[in-house]
């Protein structure tokens, strides 16, 4: 089994973006330490929009420098750095010591015109490649909002993208800001496609590596939301921001079975081994796990360490290697 541990390297996008120190630098250092112990390699999907926007403010010069240094450390340690786009950064402003996020009508690439999308994709990829001194080849859409892919396909081809990892098998989330419907995506751990991420095409230009999913009971979410309040030392996120609202999804999952990702974040890390067992039983050859440094907790880091320790000799931990 090839296991891809992937991390979206970013701030929060709700009312509070959180600090770079707590959402990115500190938790990522811990993740890098875990990987070094067992020669495990990650893929970091870097939210380039933050860097481009933060570069505009002299007040943020020092924190941007530290973020860039950490990204270069990822490269030096042989981790992969790939492209993650949250285009709402185009409208974000830094004022009075905090980010003002304007997400409505700006959260996904499909919210922008054809010309604006092309510009964002080209500028963000050029910025990242110049920073790391390597070519990128793998993409993850912000908020998994990769649809309609036909609007992005040509621009991603132009910058050399051949892999995508935005799809969550069976994932569905339709709100003011999110447009996610992967209910018809192939139930495979890897497949090729052309202009629709849910339609397999053996001759397609792109390869989809879906984020592994699990069918969660409502009780799982009661525990997830309750443990942070009951045992904050163990279950409170290291990141100090707030999530963007997912339009009533919280109450839906508390009352219904639902499909969602296999993740290293918080209480989700409890299902890492169950997710791996599911993939093995399905005779799958790849498993992509998503995480966010900002979503780390003492509990999740313990679970991730145990997951790596128990599997690094039996399975191959891979990254999406930069060209």
Query: What is the distance, to the nearest Å, from the Cα of residue 10 to the centroid of all Cα atoms in its chain?
Result: 9
The answer to whether the pTM exceeds 0.95 is yes
Question: Could you tell me the CA-to-CA distances from 120 to 154, 225, 265 in Å, in that order?
Answer: 13, 36, 28
Mean local confidence (pLDDT), 181-200: 97
250-268 pLDDT tens trace: 888 898 988 899 999 999 9
Measure the CA–CA gap between 245 and 279, rounded to whole angstroms: 30
197-251 pLDDT tens trace: 999 999 999 999 999 999 999 999 999 888 888 888 899 999 999 999 888 788 8
Strands 93-95 and 98-100: antiparallel
pLDDT at 323 exceeding the cut of 70:
no
Measure the CA–CA gap between 212 and 312, rounded to whole angstroms: 18
pLDDT of residue 14: 93
pLDDT of residue 39: 86
Q: Which of 70, 83, 67, 84 is nearest to 20 (CA)?
A: 67
Complete domains list, the chain, with CATH: 2-318 (3.20.20.370)
pLDDT of residue 216: 94
pLDDT of residue 225: 87
59-104 pLDDT tens trace: 999 999 999 999 999 999 999 999 999 999 999 999 999 999 999 9
Half-sphere exposure of 194 (CA within 13 A, CB side): 4
pLDDT of residue 149: 98
83 φ, ψ (degrees, to nearest 5): -90, 130
Measure the CA–CA gap between 296 and 46, rounded to whole angstroms: 17
Residue 51's CB: how many other CB atoms inside 10 A?
19
52: Cβ contacts below 8 Å, ≥ 6 apart: 89, 123, 124, 127
């Amino acid at each position: 089994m090839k296991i891809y541990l992937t991390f979206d390297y970013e701030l929060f996008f709700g009312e509070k973006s959180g600090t770079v120190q707590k959402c990115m630098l500190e938790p990522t250092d811990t993740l890098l330490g875990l990987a070094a112990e067992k020669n495990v390699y990650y893929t970091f999907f870097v939210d380039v929009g933050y860097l481009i926007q933060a570069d505009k403010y002299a007040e943020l010069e020092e924190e941007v420098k530290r973020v860039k240094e950490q990204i270069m450390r990822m490269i030096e340690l042989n981790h992969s750095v790939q492209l993650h786009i949250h285009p709402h950064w185009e409208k974000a402003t830094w004022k009075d010591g905090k980010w003002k996020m304007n997400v409505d009508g700006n959260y996904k690439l499909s919210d922008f015109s054809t010309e604006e999308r092309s510009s964002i994709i080209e500028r963000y990829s050029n910025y990242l490649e110049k920073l790391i001194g390597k070519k990128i080849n793998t993409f993850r859409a912000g908020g998994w909002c990769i649809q309609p892919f036909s609007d992005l396909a040509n621009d991603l081809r132009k910058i050399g993208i051949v892999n995508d990892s935005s799809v969550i098998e069976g994932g569905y989330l339709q709100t003011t800001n999110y447009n996610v419907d992967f209910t018809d995506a192939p139930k495979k751990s890897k497949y090729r496609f052309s202009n629709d991420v849910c339609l397999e095409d053996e001759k397609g230009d792109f390869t989809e590596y879906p984020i592994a999913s699990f069918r969660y009971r409502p009780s799982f979410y009661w525990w997830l939301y309750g443990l942070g309040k009951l045992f904050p030392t163990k279950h409170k996120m290291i990141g100090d921001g707030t999530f963007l609202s997912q339009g009533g999804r919280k109450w839906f999952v508390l009352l219904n079975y639902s499909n969602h990702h296999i993740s290293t974040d918080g209480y989700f890390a409890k299902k890492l081994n169950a997710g791996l067992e599911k993939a093995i039983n399905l005779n799958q050859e790849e498993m992509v796990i998503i995480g966010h440094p900002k979503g780390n907790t003492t509990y999740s880091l313990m679970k991730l360490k145990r997951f790596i320790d128990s599997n690094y000799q039996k399975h191959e931990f891979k990254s999406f290697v930069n060209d």
